[in-house]
Amino acid sequence: MIPRMAVSASTGTSSTALPRFPGDFLWGVSTSAHQIEGAAELRGRSVWDAFATMPGRVKDGSTADVACDHYHRYREDVALIRDLGVGAYRFSVSWPRVQPTGAGQVSERGLDFYDRLVDELCAAGVRPVPTLFHWDTPLVLEETGGWRRRDTAERFAQYAAVVAERIGDRVPTWITLNEPAEHTLLGHALGEHAPGHRLLFDALPVAHHQLLGHGLAVQALRAAGAGHIGIANSHGPTWAASDEPADREAADFYDLLLNRLFADPLLLGRYPDGIAEILDTPGLDADLKLISAPLDWYGINYYQPTLVGAPGAGPEEFSGVHIPPELPFAPREIEGRPRTDFGWPVVPEAFTELLLDFRDRYADRLPPLIVTENGCSYEGIDDQRRIAFLDGHLRSLHRALAAGVDVRGYFVWSLLDNFEWAEGYRQRFGLVHVDYATLERTPKASYAWLREALRAQR
């Protein structure tokens, strides 16, 4: 671990061009199905449809029934991606659009949509990078236990095979899961995301079943002839609030939950100390063997570091999430930093720290990395603060490359403003503004900036 960096208030955009990235570096933008597609009446219901109808769960009371109407406007969106000059588009496949009940009967109409999208991307010269699961579990599956049940992992692998069979001939790069950490913590432990369970540490099997689903899906994808398979995990440096043993212990625990609980089994084939005992699952060794089958690359979603201290002294609410007092850690605010509209601190150099840390922690077990998400929420079309954010983070990424970390690509979150989960439409992460009344797309200043920055790389 490199030492914590000095905190400074500056993130100003440098007027000079970005440093040069390798010629074959993969540049992309990302989205997810539930956040942009809309056309909810043409698919099965997911946990997020049900969650959004529970009063008070989505803060602005909205649903993703229409979202950005990408289902009908995908051609316009692919043209935006092409004109931006990126080589790849990370989207997700909606499980309930392909398999409305999560098992058995497949929807040809649902598969046809992804067929058309992939064709459109290929015709535009953009590499399709589908994620198979980005939190929209079919509601029927949830009603019989969802990810709390082991056999959901098997259902997931069967669905992965269906998707691979339909679009695999044109898809060179695959992602199994998006951020199983958030889906476990926010969706099942704290109840802040769908499906809204408040299981605290009893949510641990949800983490294991997702990881098992990942392992089985990798197997199914490879059997279908697919290659270049990875996973998108969210990670961030965890800083202790002080050198006091209680703060350090709390920070280590948070690091375990956010970072090691997912990366260790995937990359080392074992859970961090203590977790296997709590899980107490028969056949764990065989599961771990599946989970740690070699990946072609490993995806990192990075947004911010977290400052963590002993419980009792932190805020009751943090980044819009209620922190129950029984947790053995308490996040604290990082002071003296600019913040995004979400209130997240902007700390570009922590990105270098994270990447170096990963290299040191996993050494020769670490496959090449791809940054599968990085971005920020800001209002406005003249979004100079997003430009400063991206500029700062790309420079930090370049520092990690220069230090020898093998990073092969970078995807901005997100192409479009979209349905930001429990925040509804209140947080705007897009390079392209979406007017939710008219669905008109307007590229922001950051879109033009990135297009020029990428042009200068050619």
Residues near ligand IFM (CB under 6 A) are 32, 35, 179, 301, 373, 413, 420, 429
Output 59 or 149, the one with its CB closest to ligand IFM: 59
Output 35 or 94, the one with its CB closest to ligand IFM: 35
- Give me the catalytic one of 120, 179, 192, 349: 179
**What residue type is 368 in one-letter code?**
P
Output 131 or 396, the one with its CB closest to ligand IFM: 131
Output 247 or 420, the one with its CB closest to ligand IFM: 420
Closest CA to 393 of 361, 427, 345, 336: 345
Category of 158 on φ-ψ map: left (φ > 0), alpha (ψ -120 to 50) or beta: alpha
- Give me the catalytic one of 37, 349, 353, 373: 373
Output 220 or 371, the one with its CB closest to ligand IFM: 371
How far apart are alpha carbons 369 and 155 in whole angstroms?
28
Active site residue 326: no
| Least separation in angstroms between CB 259 and ligand IFM | 15
Closest CA to 255 of 232, 273, 277: 273
| Least separation in angstroms between CB 133 and ligand IFM | 12
Give me 286's structure tokens: 């065989």
CA distances from 82 to 43, 176, 351 (A): 28, 25, 27
Active site residue 373: yes
Peptide bond into 107 cis (omega under 30): no
| Least separation in angstroms between CB 264 and ligand IFM | 21
Q: Mention every residue, 6+ apart, whose C-beta is less than 8 A from residue 277.
A: none
| Least separation in angstroms between CB 237 and ligand IFM | 17
| Least separation in angstroms between CB 188 and ligand IFM | 16
> What are the φ/ψ torsions at residue 88 (nearest 5 degrees)?
-145, 155
Instruction: Please check whether residue 412 is in contact with residue 353, taking contact to mean a CB–CB distance below 8 angstroms.
Output: no
Instruction: Please check whether residue 206 is in contact with residue 183, taking contact to mean a CB–CB distance below 8 angstroms.
Output: yes
| Active centre residues (catalytic) | 179, 373
